[in-house]
Structure 1
Amino acid sequence: MNHRFAAALLVLVTVFAGVPAPVAAADQTAQCSFPMTVTDATGTEVTISEDPERIVTTNPSAAQTMWEIGAKDEVVGLSQYAAYLDGASEKTNVSGAEGLNVEVVIGLEPDVVLVPNTTYTSEPDRVNQLRSAGLTVVVFESGDSLGAVADKVERVGRITGNCEAGAERADEMRTSVENMERALEDVDQPVGLNAFFGYTSGSGTFISEIMTSAGLRNGAAEANITGWGQVNEELVVEMNPEYIVIPSHAPVPSGPAYNSTTAIQEGNVVVVDANNLQQPAPRAIDASETIMKAVHPEAFERYQELQNQSETTQTETTNTPESTSGEQDATATADEPQSTETSAPGFSAVAAVVALVLTTLVGRRR
């Protein structure tokens, strides 16, 4: 095992300990008023003087979030790993040969720089250089659940002056999770294993909840693996997963242990777009849907019906005159210190690990 890879994984798993708690409801209009002061994951009070128009995202899930709330036009710089997003080629690449390119970010003169905890943990000096240059930088913690990711989406919307869009997209995510739960009532849930390059996603990871929301039991979590960790052959045999979930850039695991599992013998390998599975951003819901469709096709049909009903209800509510700001208040969150979007809008720990694997072990990028 490459020592750089192992060390990076250890750092990233350690980072994923803190998650901001949900915050109380408050007036949504007040939430989006500027100047706005928030406290970020580093404990720094950050004041955003006015509605940002130029935003830099240092990792891809931050960019994905901005795209998903309809604010991609505000993004002027993004990571090389966000190149998959439509229109990303029109933005400036802020990735350098050895990480974040501080000079390029400063040259873009952004109003706000969104920094995930993985970037800050691996490159704190560079982030501090951005602050020393007078840039407004918000560092985010990581989320360990789809609910935390939805909260992050809402907070990113608020910080960037896109309150309504952020709240709407976050509520769509929450509704999707609820509809999955309803569709899967009384459905037996088989054991699943997320596998990538000899590692897996245990408890305390948003990928674990992507799997369980889709109707799988997370075998790694049940085997007391916390965070992202290695999975050995003995454990694979003992677990005998009925389904194996892999990101699209990872090979199907093989060898005697894996070949003995029900998943491999029955061809139950679910390949999920890595940009959906491994980034704590809105498209994580798409990852759950992919898994659910493969594992529980009948429940997935029920889920689609519930989704259609929810969309119809939302449309009717939106078009009803009585739908006033009072209803919006129920879904808004207060601008407490937790609201500093400390759920990393950027590369998830897993995605960072994969990037390092591809760079150091096989010499190619995602």
Structure 2
Amino acid sequence: MRKLFWSLFLVVSYSLSAIGFAQYPKTLTDDLGRRVTLQAEPKKIVTMLPSLTETLCAMGACERLVATDSFSDWPDSVKKLPKMGGLFDASPEKIVALKPDLVLISVYGKLQEPLERSGITTFAVKTESYEDIFRTTRLLGEILNQKSAAERLVAQIQQQIYAQETRAAKAKDRPTVYYEIDPTPYTVGPDSFIGTLITKARGQNIIPKELGNFPRISPELVVQKNPQVIVLTHPGAADLAKRPGWAQIQAIRTNRVCGFTGEADNLLSRPGPRVAEGLKLLIACLHPELK
């Protein structure tokens, strides 16, 4: 009888856990190293990064959003939500007025300070590496009490990535690549999520890993490395040859410059559920012979 009781107890406990009971309060560590306690399952959420908006929606939790940052535009349903500003021009007052249960923020921008003073719970996320995409997805699953949905999304993204890698494996060469985020110039290191996508697309990033994930570099470094392909996520392709020494770079001499703006830029620049679509764009750029 005692064995039967404990068996039933375990079944009931598991069932309650699976449907969301007995999970809160819970304390998790965010990417600022803070211990954040969630008193209850968050139902009114503000996301302040497009990648977080997309990941949350891809997990089937879009209806929990009450507002987003100014740049979140996918899926279409989030376009009509109130916009709270960007990384460095966010409006804490507007966020507080919404009385959200939770605000998902970047580790940059220091938005947590005014929000915490107003009694709003914040959770900071830093998604820079390829593995961070999956770690963040699982973390959101933990926060939202949606672990199964998070694992399904992780598996889906990995399957899509594998399909694109299989296509890229048919390429005959591995061109050297310079990827420019803006004309400052800021670029991507090989250990960043974009750097990993370049490798998966069978390209060779010219930026040394010791410079970091998203370093500002000297333009002379690009001249020295002489890449075979240049990838831009800003509308400045026409001006590249005007930079000192750049007219002699192989990618410019052979017109192997790929410019991605708007939606294409979003696919490449957001470490979220559509990352395989960004990889597909890179493969088409580096290996136009692949169909």
The alignment's TM-score, normalised by the length of structure 1, stands at: 0.65
Name 1:168's counterpart in structure 2: 152
Q: How big is the shift at 1:298?
A: 5.8
Residue matched to 1:265: 253
- Once the 2 structures are TM-superposed, how far is the Cα of residue 184 of structure 1 from its aligned partner? 3.9
Contact 2:128–2:213 (8 Å) recurs in 1? no
Match of 1:94 among 84, 87, 109: 84
**Contact map agreement 2:168 2:283 (CA 8 A) in 1:** no
Sort the Cα spacing of 1:244 and 1:31 in 2 relative to 1 into closer, same or farther, 3 A. farther
2:134 corresponds in structure 1 to 150
Distance 1:283 1:88 in 2: 16
| Partner residue, 2:118 | 133
Paired with 1:207 and 1:291, the residues of 2 have a C-alpha distance of 10
Query: Which residue in the other structure is 1:323 paired with?
Result: none
Moved more, 253-262 or 147-156: 253-262
SS in 1 for 2:230: strand
Query: Paired residue for 1:17?
Result: none
Identity of aligned residues (%): 24
* 1:85 Cα offset (Å): 4.6
Cα 1:30–1:132 shift into 2, 3 Å: farther
| Mapped partners of 2:43, 2:223: distance in 1 | 53
What is the DSSP-based 3-state SS (H/G/I as helix, E as strand, rest coil) of the residue aligned with 2:43?
coil
Give deviations 1:229-281, integer Å, cap 9, x for gaps: 2343432222121111111x331133253322222222222233221222222
Q: CA RMSD in A?
A: 2.8
SS at 2:46 equivalent: strand
Return 5+ residue gaps in structure 1 as ranges: 1-26, 302-366
Please state how far the C-alpha of 1:162 moved relative to its aligned partner. Answer: 3.0
Picking from 267, 282, 287, the partner of 1:291 is: 282
CA contact (8 A) 2:141 2:150 kept: yes
**Structure 1 residues 217-256: aligned runs within 5 Å:** 217-221=204-208, 224-247=210-233, 249-252=234-237, 253-255=240-242, 256=244
Give the Å deviation of 1:38: 1.0
CA-CA distance at 1:96 after TM superposition: 7.5
Structure 1, 263-272 or 178-187: larger mean CA deviation: 178-187
1:192-223 deviation line (CA, Å, top 9, x unaligned)? 1101312211233211112111111101137x
**C-alpha displacement at 1:154, in angstroms?**
2.5
* 1: CA distance, partners of 2:76 / 2:43: 20
Q: What code does the residue aligned with 1:254 have?
A: A
Residue segments in structure 2 that go unaligned for 5+ positions in a row: 1-13
Pick the structure with greater CA Rg.
2
CA contact (8 A) 1:70 1:165 kept: yes
2:270 corresponds in structure 1 to: 279
Distance 1:285 1:192 in 2: 19
Counterpart of 2:193 in structure 1 is: 206
1:113 matches 2:99? no
SS at match of 1:87: helix
Kept after mapping to 2: 8 A contact 1:60/1:81: yes
Equivalent residues of 1:32, 1:158 under 8 A apart: no
CA contact (8 A) 1:117 1:142 kept: no
Deviates more, 1:213-222 or 1:253-262: 253-262
Contact 1:276 1:287 in 2 (8 A): yes
